[in-house]
Amino acid sequence: MLTRDDALKICEVVLAHAKAAGADDAQVSLNSSVESHARFADNRITTSGRAEDLDVTATVWVNRRRGSSTGNLSGVAALQQLAGDATQIARVSPVQREYIQTLGPLEYSADRGFAAASADVDVTARAKALDGVLATCRAAKVTAAGFHSARGLATAAATANGNRRFFQNSRAELSVTARTADGTGSGYFSGDHFDVARLDAQHIAEQAVGKAVRSRRPLPIEPGNYPVILEPQAVSDLIGFFTGAFDARTAEEGRSAFSAKDGKTHRGEAMFSERLNLYSDPMHPELPATPATDEGIPASRLSLVENGVIKNLRYSRYWAQEKQQAPTPGPVNYILESTGAPASMDAMITSMKRGLMISRFWYVRVVDPRTLVLTGLTRDGLWWVENGQIKNPVRNLRFNQSVLAMLAPWNVEAIGPAQRLAPYMVPALKLSSFTFTSTSDAI
């Protein structure tokens, strides 16, 4: 990974070449990464590797005409070529109607989500941790598959108007799928943190094994509408489709789930449970994020849903200018949480008369962008709950469910404590109704 000085020097060289080539405005962005991983399956390591890379992107404007070029070499000739190539593209491109001047100098908060150990993994220590995972699985007579990954990333950007920024972040994750020998049970659990030392491999393995064993020999179940408890993993599998709808431009252009009649949007409406907040916060202690948006706007706490009301939509720099608003200082991460004291998982189960408890969803896709109806399947743990107790595992189901209706005031019964599943902090949710349309034979 490049240091701040080396990264910004590369940016300066490209800027200088862009100016010399005749660019009126320019931005250089750079990513320098180191990634290490190990995969395992069939209770053994299958592949493991390490990769270093760099990418440098020059984006330039000549008379409001835009060109962009990306390369992964840092020699001076390559950087000159990069600037020249971008400028050449700009010269032959039409005027970019949505051009907006690059940013000037801005102050950014210090980043908090980087641990050097994640960028330079000790492969022997990793092998020891994975040996423990595999031993736990063998002892339980389940077959483990999984993935351990750790990555460090340095990002830098510089503009012709004087903006300079440099951030570092890291992420380490471990996920384990345990499958029982008879092929009827499967469990999955994952954890992630920016510091590889904070991954609790043993806990992750034990959770996956427990789910596999408890999901053995599932009983048939009819599709239909059921009350459900979604574990945090299941919520995180859906929530990206929801957060993706918070774009002001598509909503105002009349082509998103937040578009309303007569060219309006649903901003300001109480569409969701009043006990739900959704916000972005780069300084969140459990989920620190880069303190700048992709466009370089300094990030700060941004409320998207407050007490169930759509508080803000995301305005890019261009769309904000069009609509005479300020660009939004995010989102850079998403935290979905209860406005009040969260409910425990035990409380959710004991209060459920009859319904389903869901570990995880798989292959989720948007069926209808107007209502955010999603389809997908349950996977790696689905249980029938009756009179406050988990009774038995059941066969997997396919759902067709609107995520807007899922979070509606009448549907959210209880909200658990939010847990980190980057880029989200999400709670378990207890919901009155969830629509399943067919059964699946898959384990």
Looking only at residues 12 through 41 of this chain, which bind other proteins when binding is defined by CB under 8 A? Answer: 12-13, 16-17, 20, 32, 35, 37-41
Rounded least distance, CB 315 to other proteins, Å: 18
Bridge partners, residue 430, by sequence: 229, 414
Tokens of residue 375, six digits: 């389809």
Tokens of residue 285, six digits: 């202690």
Using the minimum distance from each CB to other proteins, give the nearer residue, 328 or 396.
396
Rounded least distance, CB 73 to other proteins, Å: 5
Rounded least distance, CB 252 to other proteins, Å: 10
Rounded least distance, CB 334 to other proteins, Å: 20
Rounded least distance, CB 382 to other proteins, Å: 12
Sole binder of other proteins in the list 69, 159, 180, 333 (CB under 8 A): 69
Using the minimum distance from each CB to other proteins, give the nearer residue, 84 or 331.
84
> How many Cβ atoms sit within 10 Å of the Cβ of residue 177?
24
Whole-angstrom distance, CA of residue 376 vs CA of residue 378: 7
* Only segment of 53-61, 278-286, 300-308, 424-432 that touches other proteins (CB under 8 A): 53-61
Residue 152 in contact with residue 34, Cβ under 8 Å?
A: yes
Bridge partners, residue 401, by sequence: 374
Q: Does residue number 96 form part of the binding site for other proteins (CB under 8 A)?
A: yes
Q: Does residue number 325 form part of the binding site for other proteins (CB under 8 A)?
A: no
Tokens of residue 148, six digits: 């351990």
Site string for other proteins, 404-443 (x = CB under 8 A): -------------------------------x-xxxxxxx
- Which residues, numbered 237-266, are part of the site for other proteins (CB under 8 A)? 253-255, 259-263
Sole binder of other proteins in the list 115, 235, 245, 373 (CB under 8 A): 373
Provide the Cα torsion 198, 201, 203, 208; round to 10°: 130
- DSSP one-letter string for 144-185: EEEEEEEEEEEEEEEETTS-EEEEEEEEEEEEEEEEETTSS-
Sole binder of other proteins in the list 4, 22, 81, 275 (CB under 8 A): 81
* Only segment of 282-290, 298-306, 341-349, 393-401 that touches other proteins (CB under 8 A): 393-401
List of residues 6+ apart from 413 with CB closer than 8 A: 227, 351, 430, 431, 432
Sole binder of other proteins in the list 63, 76, 323, 391 (CB under 8 A): 76
Q: Does residue number 143 form part of the binding site for other proteins (CB under 8 A)?
A: yes
Using the minimum distance from each CB to other proteins, give the nearer residue, 39 or 275.
39
Residue 124 in contact with residue 58, Cβ under 8 Å?
A: no
Rounded least distance, CB 346 to other proteins, Å: 28
Q: Does residue number 127 form part of the binding site for other proteins (CB under 8 A)?
A: yes
Using the minimum distance from each CB to other proteins, give the nearer residue, 91 or 214.
91
List of residues 6+ apart from 134 with CB closer than 8 A: 40, 43, 44, 144
The DSSP secondary-structure symbol of 7 reads H
Rg (CA), the chain: 24
Whole-angstrom distance, CA of residue 194 vs CA of residue 290: 12
Name the 3-class secondary structure at 421. Answer: strand
Sole binder of other proteins in the list 4, 54, 303, 345 (CB under 8 A): 54
Residues in the chain: 443
Rounded least distance, CB 78 to other proteins, Å: 5
Count of residues interacting with other proteins (CB under 8 A): 109
Rounded least distance, CB 265 to other proteins, Å: 9
Tokens of residue 86, six digits: 């971008």
Residue 380 in contact with residue 359, Cβ under 8 Å?
A: yes
Rounded least distance, CB 44 to other proteins, Å: 4
Sole binder of other proteins in the list 26, 115, 158, 176 (CB under 8 A): 176
> How many Cβ atoms sit within 10 Å of the Cβ of residue 309?
17
- Which residues, numbered 263-302, are part of the site for other proteins (CB under 8 A)? 263
The DSSP secondary-structure symbol of 113 reads -
